[in-house]
Amino acid sequence: MPTQPLNKKDALEQRLNAETAKINWHELQKHYAAGNLLAIAEGADLIKVAVAFHQDDTAKVQAWLADKTLFEINDEQALDWYESRTEHWAVVIPPFVLVQKST
């Protein structure tokens, strides 16, 4: 049975999923210091958020910021992740690096 070609959104999701990797907080510090690091709440879909950023879907991004699905990392959280050497899933959507705590 022949496979169906991927639509653009599915292809984008596959590409972003392939570009996602685990990374230690220590390696993310420079992005945090530059102010271009955003976190995704546990239980949310990192790839769906990355797709919305890639597609400049402002409405979705604003809704996620409002309900804290997407959030800026404060200094206290950054210090906690530094001290505990927390690993995160990360994907780059220039100029941002989107991270989600690895469970």
Residue 2 lies in a domain: no
Residue 3, in any domain of the structure: no
- Domain-located, residue 62: yes
Determine the average pLDDT of the residues in 49-73: 97
Burial of 50 (0-12, 13-18, 19+ CB in 10 A): buried
Q: Please report whether residue 1 resides in a domain.
A: no
- Residues 88 and 31 sit within 8 Å (Cβ to Cβ): no
pLDDT cut 70: percent of the chain above it: 94
In this structure, is residue 79 part of a structural domain?
yes
pLDDT, average across residues 36-50: 97
The mean per-residue pLDDT over the stretch 1-10 comes to 71
Mean pLDDT computed over every residue of the chain: 93
d(CA 33, CA 29): 6
Domain that holds residue 90: 8-101
Model confidence at 5, pLDDT cuts 50, 70, 90, reads: low
- Report the domain count for the chain: 1
Tell me if 55 is assigned to some domain: yes
